[in-house]
Amino acid sequence: MDTSEQYVKMCEKAEEIQKIWNHEQLRHFLDRPHSYIVDNGRSGWTWLPRQDQLQEMIKRFNPCTYPVRGLVDAFYEFVSDEQDWKKYITMEQFWLAFVMKKRYRKVWNGEEWING
């Protein structure tokens, strides 16, 4: 599980992901063991979604479009097309970038999520 400073920053800045905390569906994500939440020391707590939780977000977003094979193919296409792929050093970072791109049309510029 990625608990690096980079991933914490990416998660903290992913407001759309953090808003899940305010919804009932968070229970589904936290119902599994080993959920990660960190005190960011500034605005409170930041949820660090695991890779399987990020994958579940994509499947729930459009279950017909992303069955297992479709999910893998879409992720492969994203990774292949991502021009700045070197900025992601863990699978959690890649999957978070994939979720933000597919669900919210945002990309990581190294500091924040911007429309893209």
Sequence spans of domains, the chain: 5-115
98, pLDDT greater than 60? yes
The angle that helices 91-104 and 68-81 make with each other, rounded to 10 degrees, is 100
11, pLDDT greater than 60? yes
Local confidence band at 23 (pLDDT 50, 70, 90 cut-offs): low
CA 36 and chain centroid, separation: 13
User: Is residue 97 within 8 Å of 11, Cβ to Cβ?
Assistant: no
Alpha-carbon distances of 99 from 44, 73, 78, rounded to whole Å: 23, 14, 10
**Which of 40-49, 50-59, 98-107 has the largest mean confidence?**
98-107
58, pLDDT greater than 60? yes
Specify the higher pLDDT residue, 70 or 52.
52
Specify the higher pLDDT residue, 29 or 84.
84
Specify the higher pLDDT residue, 37 or 74.
74
Return the pLDDT at 74.
Answer: 86
Return the pLDDT at 70.
Answer: 81
Specify the higher pLDDT residue, 111 or 22.
111
List, in order, residues 6 or more apart from 13 with CB less than 8 Å away. Answer: 111, 112, 113
Give the pTM: 0.80
> Which class for 17: exposed (0-12), middle (13-18), buried (19 or more C-beta within 10 A)?
buried
